[in-house]
Chains A and B, each alone.
Chain A
Amino acid sequence: MKLEVKNLKKSFAGTEVLHGVSFEVESGKALGLLGRNGAGKTTTMRILMDVFRAESGEIHLDGKVFKPSHEKIGYLPEERGLYPKRTVIDQMVYLARLRGLGTADAKRNSKKWLKRLEIEEYETRKLETLSKGNQQKVQLAATLVCDPDMIILDEPFSGLDPVNAQILKEVVGELIDDRKLVIFSSHQMSYVEQFCDSIAIIDKGNVILEGDLREIKKEYGQNRLILSSGNHTLQALNDKIKRSGEFPIFVDGITKDYLILKIEEAVTKNELLAQLIHSDILIEQFGSYEPSLNDIFVERVGDEA
């Protein structure tokens, strides 16, 4: 199963908020939609789910026009909510049945997911009596209760404590292993980095970076090195490189542990290393730089996520 989103445009009250969003994702893989608040992630997901209609653009599933009502989709919206005064099991069975399951399967799946998310003891309780974190887990269980082929999760980790976040991480991992197509948005780059094979960074309604995460990281790390010294502080090392001009490199960034250096194209890493060895710099760390997703995000979007 391959989902292709092409050139989505959407306006609200005459203001265009999506300027041509495109990305693609396949079964057994997860796509992380990244972006700052108001970037257009939720709007994109709502267009996917037909909550909003795009003014233009196409969505195809395996080459055919994508109709969410014809597919088995588990959708966890950003605006969480179910019926607070009804019991957990009742509303889960109800939603499962609305998504096409028979009564027996709906009950069985409801119990299965409540157990998997470690909230089976609350099945006969009214939703409003549960803690916020457990309500969110019920919501996630309701998302997955119909055994969907495609799972769309909008900020699934928000509001979860570290233990529950770990459970969710495991569940998402299992879904990917189960060859499900997963799309999720998150501000927490570490989660995206762990699950996602591909990412799409949306900024002000535009996809500014999209593709395979490993490729992106490789590309961002190309010609970049890390360096730290045993006899220079990072600031002193930075000053030395900039002032002396004796090395064919320039400083691209400073982290708390090392300098990020960009090497001139004509110079190899071995040549640079030889130069450094013969200088007064006592090398502590030297190697290829692999940027974190957070680094890439900050670099592209221009602020801390």
Chain B
Amino acid sequence: MRKFSIVLKYELREYVKNKSFVVVTLLLAIIGAIVLFAPRFFDMSWLVGTPSEQQVTVSDEETKGTMLLYDSEGLVNQELLSGAFPNVTWVEVDSVDAIKDKINSEEALAGFRVVSYTEYDYYILNRGIYSVEDSYFEAVLSASMRQAYFTENNLNADEIEALFATPITMNEQVLGKDSTDNYWYSYALVIIVFMLIVFYGQMIAVSVTNEKSNRAIEILVTTTTPNSLLFGKVIAGAIAGLCQVGVVLGAVLISYQMNRELWGGKLDMILNIPTEVLITFALFGIGGYLFYAFLYGAMGALVSKTEDISKSSSGLMIMIMIVYFISLMQLSNVDGIAMKVLSFLPISSYSAMFVRIAMGTVEMWEIVVSFVILVASIFAAGLIGAGIYRMGTLRYGNPVRLTSALKELKRSK
């Protein structure tokens, strides 16, 4: 235990002394805080959606311009058209060619050729992702058809329209969890834990391989136990990662809470994370991280050159990617069988169980069993990892296959 704590302190000090690690951590925290404090110093209404005079002006300006209408039958109700496009100047044309010419010469934004009440052609130079002119025009055409029908049949148009547009009041009472509220931060946290595992896992693998490539490993394994070395190294990485994420996430969450009203709650879906979800994320996230970190350490011991790490850890990477994609794809079905199974497997519970807790229905016994399995698996991964680490000592040259390493480990027991 004493040697473990010496290794832990030494490795941890290396992280703290690493200028780029400290600078990146502080920089991310400061940038996050600056962005979230921005509404105190700048007018961010364009982003947060607070109504203001300027916003209305900007909105009006956006819909301003000239549009073309080729309506040989006179089907479109001009009053409705002007109401739907208040800042648009409508120019009547008498041919499709005229529409094309004016649009190509950028004299008009768009053009419509009305064939019937149920069919029209829409012309535009470059269509944007958020173009809505066609849907507005479609609504005008549809309303024009109804107006024509009401007039033709002597019906009271206002009364009928009001009947169809009766406002309905809905009082929602979510008794369980509201996925619409939890979806985005769950999504973000799944990505964060995935990035942590891959990033720090690779760092640990590189650190172990470096000890082989610079030949320090023979001194180390004759000085202390492989368990102390690998556990110290991995847990130091976990603490460093936790501190880094804690500082950045803490700065972001605190900054947001301090400026939440100014943001109009716009970022609640990502940054207003309930405490119990954060605790679960921390427990299962750290557990998953440790589980994979030990395996990454073992993968690092199988090779003697850092450029070979990607070969030895590719299987691990594929496994992590599969868990990652399944977790994200199943966010809309967290109580499905796939997530239930994944939430008990140590390779995936760090993500699946946390998502189930955040968004689904999960019993306490399920959380406890899943966590116990995860903790037991961490120790198993640690001991196997340390065994491979010890076995990999002095195995230079070509990468050692994981299967042969495990066989050798079994033989030596």
Minimum CB–CB distance from B411 to chain A (whole Å) comes to 11
Question: How many angstroms between the C-alpha atoms of A86 and B15 in the bound complex?
Answer: 12
Q: Does B215 contact A (CB under 8 A)?
A: yes
* B218/A81 in contact, CB under 8 A: yes
* A77/B218 in contact, CB under 8 A: yes
Question: How many angstroms between the C-alpha atoms of A94 and B219 in the bound complex?
Answer: 12
Query: For residue B217, which residues in chain A have a CB less than 8 angstroms away from its CB?
Result: 81
Minimum CB–CB distance from A292 to chain B (whole Å) comes to 33
A-B contact pairs, 6 of them (CB 8 A): A50-B222, A81-B214, A81-B219, A90-B10, A95-B219, A98-B224
* A98/B6 in contact, CB under 8 A: yes
Q: Does B91 contact A (CB under 8 A)?
A: no
Question: How many angstroms between the C-alpha atoms of A80 and B218 in the bound complex?
Answer: 8
* A82/B219 in contact, CB under 8 A: yes
Query: For residue B222, which residues in chain A have a CB less than 8 angstroms away from its CB?
Result: 49-51, 68, 73, 75, 77
Which residue of chain B has the shortest Cβ distance to A50 in the bound complex? Answer: B222
Interface size of A by CB at 8 A reads 24
Instruction: Give the tally of cross-chain contacts (CB within 8 A).
Output: 49
Question: How many angstroms between the C-alpha atoms of A95 and B216 in the bound complex?
Answer: 11
State which residues 211-250 of B face A: CB under 8 Å: 211, 214-219, 221-225
8 more A-B contacts (CB under 8 A) besides A50-B222, A51-B218, A95-B219? A75-B219, A77-B215, A77-B222, A80-B215, A81-B219, A86-B14, A98-B3, A142-B219
Query: For residue B7, which residues in chain A have a CB less than 8 angstroms away from its CB?
Result: 98
Query: For residue A142, which residues in chain B have a CB less than 8 angstroms away from its CB?
Result: 219
With A50-B222, A51-B393, A51-B394: A94-B215 Cβ-Cβ less than 8 Å: no
Query: For residue B218, which residues in chain A have a CB less than 8 angstroms away from its CB?
Result: 51, 77, 79, 81
Q: Does A38 contact B (CB under 8 A)?
A: no
Q: What range describes how many residues of B lie at the interface?
A: 20 to 34
Which residue of chain A has the shortest Cβ distance to B5 in the bound complex? Answer: A97
Interface residues of B (CB under 8 A from A): 3, 6-7, 10, 14, 211, 214-219, 221-225, 393-394, 412
Query: For residue B393, which residues in chain A have a CB less than 8 angstroms away from its CB?
Result: 51
* A97/B6 in contact, CB under 8 A: yes
Q: Does A99 contact B (CB under 8 A)?
A: yes
With A51-B393, A51-B394, A86-B14: A95-B215 Cβ-Cβ less than 8 Å: no
* B6/A79 in contact, CB under 8 A: no
Question: How many angstroms between the C-alpha atoms of A158 and B394 in the bound complex?
Answer: 20
Query: For residue B224, which residues in chain A have a CB less than 8 angstroms away from its CB?
Result: 98
With A75-B222, A94-B10, A98-B223: A81-B394 Cβ-Cβ less than 8 Å: no
Which residue of chain B has the shortest Cβ distance to A127 in the bound complex? Answer: B214
Query: For residue A287, which residues in chain B have a CB less than 8 angstroms away from its CB?
Result: none
Question: Main SS of chain A's interface residues?
Answer: loop
Question: How many angstroms between the C-alpha atoms of A77 and B215 in the bound complex?
Answer: 9
Which residue of chain B has the shortest Cβ distance to A154 in the bound complex? Answer: B218
Question: How many angstroms between the C-alpha atoms of A83 and B215 in the bound complex?
Answer: 9
Question: How many angstroms between the C-alpha atoms of A81 and B221 in the bound complex?
Answer: 13
Query: For residue A81, which residues in chain B have a CB less than 8 angstroms away from its CB?
Result: 214-219
Minimum CB–CB distance from B217 to chain A (whole Å) comes to 8
Query: For residue A133, which residues in chain B have a CB less than 8 angstroms away from its CB?
Result: none
* B10/A79 in contact, CB under 8 A: no
Question: How many angstroms between the C-alpha atoms of A49 and B394 in the bound complex?
Answer: 13
Question: How many angstroms between the C-alpha atoms of A7 and B211 in the bound complex?
Answer: 33
* A83/B6 in contact, CB under 8 A: no
* A94/B14 in contact, CB under 8 A: no
Query: For residue A79, which residues in chain B have a CB less than 8 angstroms away from its CB?
Result: 215, 218, 394
With A94-B6, A98-B6, A98-B7: A82-B221 Cβ-Cβ less than 8 Å: no
State which residues 61-75 of A face B: CB under 8 Å: 68-69, 73, 75
Query: For residue B211, which residues in chain A have a CB less than 8 angstroms away from its CB?
Result: 83
Question: How many angstroms between the C-alpha atoms of A90 and B218 in the bound complex?
Answer: 18
Question: How many angstroms between the C-alpha atoms of A97 and B216 in the bound complex?
Answer: 16
Minimum CB–CB distance from A14 to chain B (whole Å) comes to 13
Question: 9 closest Cβ contacts across the A-B interface?
Answer: A81-B215, A77-B218, A79-B215, A49-B222, A81-B214, A98-B223, A81-B216, A98-B224, A97-B6
* B223/A83 in contact, CB under 8 A: no
Kindly supply a per-residue 1/0 record for chain A positions 32-48, scoring 1 wherever the CB is within 8 Å of any chain B CB and 0 otherwise.
00000000000000100
Question: How many angstroms between the C-alpha atoms of A44 and B105 in the bound complex?
Answer: 89
Question: How many angstroms between the C-alpha atoms of A81 and B6 in the bound complex?
Answer: 20
Kindly supply a per-residue 1/0 record for chain A positions 214-243, scoring 1 wherever the CB is within 8 Å of any chain B CB and 0 otherwise.
000000000000000000000000000000
Question: How many angstroms between the C-alpha atoms of A111 and B14 in the bound complex?
Answer: 21
Q: Does A84 contact B (CB under 8 A)?
A: yes
* B219/A84 in contact, CB under 8 A: no
Query: For residue A82, which residues in chain B have a CB less than 8 angstroms away from its CB?
Result: 214, 216, 219
State which residues 83-107 of A face B: CB under 8 Å: 83-84, 86, 90, 94-95, 97-99
Kindly supply a per-residue 1/0 record for chain A positions 117-155, scoring 1 wherever the CB is within 8 Å of any chain B CB and 0 otherwise.
000000000000000000000000010000000000000
Question: How many angstroms between the C-alpha atoms of A50 and B14 in the bound complex?
Answer: 29
Question: How many angstroms between the C-alpha atoms of A236 and B174 in the bound complex?
Answer: 115
Interface centre among A51, A81, A142 (most CB of B within 10 A): A81
* A95/B214 in contact, CB under 8 A: no
Minimum CB–CB distance from B216 to chain A (whole Å) comes to 5
Query: For residue A86, which residues in chain B have a CB less than 8 angstroms away from its CB?
Result: 14
